[in-house]
Amino acid sequence: MNTLYNKILKNDLPSSVVVFLVALPLCLGIALASGAPLFSGIISGIIGGIVVGSLSGSHVSVSGPAAGLTAIVLSAISTLGGFENFLLAVVIAGGIQVILGVIKAGTVADYFPNSVVEGMLAGIGVIIFLKQLPHAFGYDRDTEGDLAFIEKSGSNTFTSLIDMLDYIHPGAVILSVFSILLLILWEKVDFLRKIKLIPAALVVVVFGIVINELFKLSGGVWVIEPSHLVSLPVADSVEAFKGLIVLPDFSAIMNKEIWIVAATIAIVASLETLLCIEAGDKMDTHKRYSNPNRELLAQGTGNIVSGLLGGLPMTSVVVRTTANINSGAASRWSAILHGVFMLLCVLIIPGLLNKIPLASLAAILLLIGYKLAKPSKLFHFYQQGKYQFIPFIVTLLAVVFTDLLKGVGIGLIISIIYILRGNIKNAYYFSRESYHLGDKIIIELSQEVSFLNKATIKQTLAALPNGSTVLIDASNSQYIAHDILELIREFRDVVSVEKSINLELTGFKENYQIENTSHVRFTNDNGPENLATNKAETLLTN
């Protein structure tokens, strides 16, 4: 129990503060871009943290209103005749997601190749970086949370970068530059890295508030005006707070347009969630696997509650999840606590939150964007060869110039084309029979193993018991996809160590960059020499 409290205090608490600071302007910006009441974005952020965070099986994912749904929300509010009718569609969409979870539709996420998932992450990183540069320079025409290449004003991401040069705010530039330097130093300087309970993002925000207050004392062009600060709705009484909450209109439940919108939200939100969960698992330093069906159940429940209380539809969100992982989150308590902080701060100190400069938050997001799309990732996939690099770079560009789902769809098509060109068509089957403690579990890979085999291999490796002895045999394999090799490396380096699994590897070719072993790294009471061989293992053969 003490270990749990230590993890929450040392890892999850600081991470939750960072996620809260990142999520706050995004919740407001997405609500504004969606044509919804600003407070609806805050409501969905709170529920995404507390409700979805409590029900989700993911250790690192953070949920909230998603930029990928803004176009759907904006159109639906208009066509359905009001926000109350739209909220009913959100409630129904949540119910559909619960059904999808019950029928185990979430496993579709396992069939997205790593090159596409990584390309999606890098593409989102590029978007975040390009979108936050204008805010860092004090040019805030485009709302926070807008990730679309074509902006509502008619401009695009690139023209906004040019336009910002005519609207440079000296105070914002000073804040963003010093904030970025502070964030970098916090990671590099040993003394600062040891202060884990004080997140660098919180220091940056406090620094921004204090410096802007000093600017106000001196006056002049340095002062950052309210239009360049966080703009949270403030309720000065209980009645005023109640007035910020809108309830769904259940009298419109027979309107077929509402059901069409609900189905659209459910499908899009579920796909985005599954992609983000897969991406979060890839970034998780412990390589823990999240149950996608449980995640759909959690998201569906969250959307039902959000719709009932006047909130926007939500998904698992890459930006918040990345901030969570980069800040060292150890468990889902970080996501839950970020929702609690959002609720408390909205109720207690909304005026203080409205003093936060957008330039300070832009500095935090710029570093998040860079880490998602740093050049080393590009070089890594280039070195993997064209079968990995081309789907990766196509997905990256498609996400930047279209949106997340279209970009992933385009990348997936390209990846499948390359698989067909490589003649990687052989399927495999596996038989799961009971094994006894002390048996050796043998996993034989087939002649050709593509990313389409990832789901079953992933599930098999995750189900291996603690302390077991496992042999992975690639002697018959002529081709093993990069995704599968990476999965085996992660299992070897992280999962098998944490689960004390005695792992043997044999038959891997030199170009697979997986060293064959003739010994086990752990021993148990039986000793390796006494272990019986169970070849009712997972057979990955033709």
Rounded to 10°, the helix 404-421/386-401 angle is 160
d(CA 486, CA 192): 34
Class of residue 239 by CB neighbours under 10 A (exposed 0-12, middle 13-18, buried 19+): exposed
Which is it for strands 502-506 and 469-473: parallel, antiparallel or unpaired?
A: parallel
Which pLDDT score, from 0 to 100, does residue 539 have? 41
Find the mean pLDDT for residues 435-446: 73
Confidence of residue 520 (pLDDT cuts 50, 70, 90): very low
Of 115-119, 264-268, 454-458, 520-524, least confident by mean pLDDT is 520-524
pLDDT score of 18 more than 70:
yes
Higher pLDDT residue, 125 or 154?
125
Task: Give the per-residue pLDDT at 536.
Answer: 36
List b or e across 159-195, with b for residues whose CB sees 16 or more CB atoms inside 10 angstroms: ebbeebeeeebebbebbbebbbebbeebeeeeeeeee
Residue 251: half-sphere exposure toward Cβ, Cα within 13 Å: 5
Q: Could you tell me which of 42, 445, 85 has the C-alpha nearest to residue 244?
A: 42
Confidence of residue 197 (pLDDT cuts 50, 70, 90): low
Domains detected in the chain: 2-189+227-362 (no CATH), 375-421 (no CATH), 439-534 (3.30.750.24)
DSSP H or E run through 156 = none
Band the pLDDT of 535: cuts 50, 70, 90: very low
Q: Is the pLDDT of residue 433 over 80?
A: no
pLDDT at 434 over 60: no
At residue 45, the pLDDT reads 96
Instruction: Report DSSP state, residue 141.
Output: -
Closest residue by Cα to residue 66 from 21, 37, 33: 33
Give 334-380 pLDDT, tens digit per residue. Answer: 999 999 999 999 888 888 999 999 999 999 999 999 999 999 989 98
Rounded to whole angstroms, the Cα distance separating 425 from 452 reads: 9
Q: Find out whether 541 and 446 touch, Cβ atoms under 8 Å.
A: yes
Rounded percentage of the chain residues whose pLDDT exceeds 70: 89
The angle subtended at Cα 219 by Cα 216 and Cα 221, nearest 5°, is 110
> DSSP secondary-structure letter at 112?
S
Percent of the chain at pLDDT exceeding 90? 54
User: Is 352 strand, coil or helix?
Assistant: helix
The sign of the dihedral angle between the CA atoms of 33, 34, 35, 40 is negative
What's the rounded Cα separation, in Å, for the pair 368 and 495? 26
φ/ψ of 356, rounded to 5, equals -75, 120
Average pLDDT for residues 412-434, to the nearest whole number?
A: 59
Residues in the chain: 542
Average pLDDT over residues 474-491: 88
Buried b (16+ CB within 10 A) or exposed e, 370-402: ebbbeeebeeebeebeebbbbbbbbbbbbbbbb
In the structure encoding, which two tokens stand for residue 338, read together? 């970020």
CB 7 within 8 A of CB 1: no
- In angstroms, the Cα distances linking 380 to 136, 140, 281, 393 are 30, 35, 19, 12
Q: What is the pLDDT of residues 69-98, one digit of tens each?
A: 988 998 899 899 899 999 999 999 999 999
Average pLDDT over residues 448-473: 84
Per-residue pLDDT band for 2 (boundaries 50, 70, 90) equals low
Q: For residues 222 and 220, which has the higher predicted lDDT (pLDDT)?
A: 222
Alpha carbon distance 172, 138 (integer Å): 5
Q: Are 62 and 48 in contact (CB under 8 A)?
A: yes
- pLDDT band with cut points at 50, 70 and 90 for residue 428: very low
Those residues whose C-beta lies under 8 Å from the C-beta of residue 139, and which sit 6 or more positions away, are 160, 163, 164, 167, 168, 169
Q: Give the model's confidence band at 191: pLDDT under 50 very low, under 70 low, under 90 confident, else very high.
A: low
Position 519 pLDDT exceeds 90? no
The confidence score (pLDDT) of residue 537 equals 41
Helix 38-47 to helix 13-33 angle (10° resolution) is 150
Under the banding of pLDDT at 50, 70 and 90, the label for residue 4 is low
44: left (phi over 0), alpha (psi -120 to 50) or beta: alpha
Q: Are residues 198 and 14 in contact, defined by beta-carbon separation less than 8 angstroms?
A: yes
DSSP 8-state assignment for residue 465: P
Report whether pLDDT(333) > 60.
yes
- The structure's pTM equals 0.80
pLDDT tens for residues 310-330?
999 999 999 999 999 998 898
Looking up tokens 């060293």 gives: 515
User: Measured between alpha carbons, how far is residue 11 from residues 142, 204, 327, 350 in Å?
Assistant: 34, 19, 8, 26
Neighbours of 446 (CB within 10 A): 21
Tell me, what's the pLDDT at 173?
95
Query: Is it the case that residue 532 has pLDDT exceeding 70?
Result: no
**Mean pLDDT of the residues in the chain:** 86
pLDDT at 418 over 80: no
Q: Which has the minimum average pLDDT: 324-333, 501-510, 520-529?
A: 520-529
Using 50, 70 and 90 to split pLDDT, how confident is the model at 394? very high
For residue 314, give the H/E element and its range. Answer: strand 314-316
